[in-house]
Structure 1
């Protein structure tokens, strides 16, 4: 049975000129994957606390910042909301990555979020951006 849609690698948005900025892509090497990587960040015990999020961090040996996200079901009950918060975290990280020091970061939701309403998006993005800015300032000193 033929597939309804097939796409070659050359048709991906990343390969088409002008559609996406390659500096804003989030590759596999830019993320934390294993439980050991997350544990190493948590065990380092350095954290910046925001209104709703905590940003755990530790220096890494690699060439740039890497991101891990922890959005607990207990604090964001609906999958739509958890996915929204993860998208916002990744987007903020992509835009700030060039100015970030070589740290492993874990962005963790620390306080409950009730819904995925219109107020959630700017509140979350503002909080995440503020945490990343504080991290840049702390690393500069």
Structure 2
């Protein structure tokens, strides 16, 4: 991976999101769901959905998106369309803001999610040959 996040590496159109969402969720963690779909493109693409009802503060939603994009750039994913969707609230009364601990937890969770997608595709590609 080149380490960039140019427009051709993003899922931006509603139809593209819908076609990936139609598939079953590939992976789940405590706060996130990852949807994947193989693509004919030479690289992976990413879409991030952080709903206001699960992260009411804009700073939290932006942090989630920023961490997800950073980890996506660093990972060497095969040609997949990936959508990471926040599925449970991340703000609690104990951790209302984006603290360092919350960021570290979200980063670890997202790393596991993207690593599992990469492993699964590598396994699928190996068994297909």
TM score, norm. by length of structure 2? 0.87
Preserved contact between residue 37 and residue 82 of structure 2 (Cα < 8 Å):
yes
DSSP 3-state at the match of 1:87: helix
Which residue matches 1:121?
103
Instruction: Give the unaligned 5+ runs of structure 1.
Output: 1-21
**1:46, CA displacement in angstroms?**
3.8
Q: Which residue among 50, 63, 72 is the counterpart of 1:71?
A: 50
Tell me which stretches of 4 or more aligned residues in structure 1 moved more than 6 Å: none
**1:25, CA displacement in angstroms?**
1.6
Preserved contact between residue 55 and residue 61 of structure 2 (Cα < 8 Å):
yes
Which residue matches 2:62?
83
Q: How many residues are paired up?
A: 118
TM score, norm. by length of structure 1? 0.80
| Cα distance in 1, alignment partners of residues 121 and 14 from structure 2 | 25
Which residue matches 1:105?
82
Which residue matches 2:112?
130
Aligned pairs (5 A) from 1:44-55:
44-55=23-34
DSSP 3-state at the match of 2:33: strand
Instruction: Give the unaligned 5+ runs of structure 2.
Output: 92-96, 124-129
Change (3 A) 1:46 1:76: closer
